Amino acid sequence: METRSDTEFCDYVHRVDEYRGTLRAKHRYADYLLSFEEHDVFPEFCQIYREFTDDSEYWKCLNLAFTMKEIHISDRKRLWLALFESKRKCRHVFMELDEGDRASFASLPEQLRIFRGYQRGRGRMGISWSLSRDVAVWFARR
């Protein structure tokens, strides 16, 4: 027997699905991806990226999927690399910086030390780095 809260939840899910459908139909892909839980953004990107007619939108959404949360790339590394190696134009959009990022970037020294954190036999071929030794150590020990 369906309770009122079950009905309300089903109505909510239906409204979310309609909202997502509208965003996708209007080619508002970044907003569409942001309507998902963090762990669902990359799988959803993989479902829709072939629809992108605007190359800058592809790079913007790939950046969103990559930076949305900590992701474990190892099991999908080939896919990530294929997406990063896309021949689409406007690749610079992936690395566009906001004002705060530009200020941080401008304050970096000419040379810097970059760290990788991994456990022996695991993660050595990852594609993420950090300027913080502490962050790298955390990744190595988890």
- The alpha carbon of 19 is separated from its chain's Cα centroid by a whole number of angstroms, namely 21
Question: What are 115's strand-pairing partners?
Answer: 130
What is the reported pLDDT for 70? 64
Rounded to whole angstroms, how far apart are CA atoms 48 and 83?
13
pLDDT tens over the chain, length 142 residues: 556 688 888 999 899 999 999 999 999 999 999 999 988 999 999 999 999 999 999 999 999 998 876 666 666 778 888 998 999 999 888 877 778 878 888 888 889 898 877 766 665 556 667 888 888 888 777 7
- For helices 55-67 and 77-84, the axis angle rounded to 10 degrees is 150
End-to-end CA distance of the chain: 45
pTM (2 decimals)? 0.71
Number of other CB atoms surrounding residue 3 within 10 Å: 8
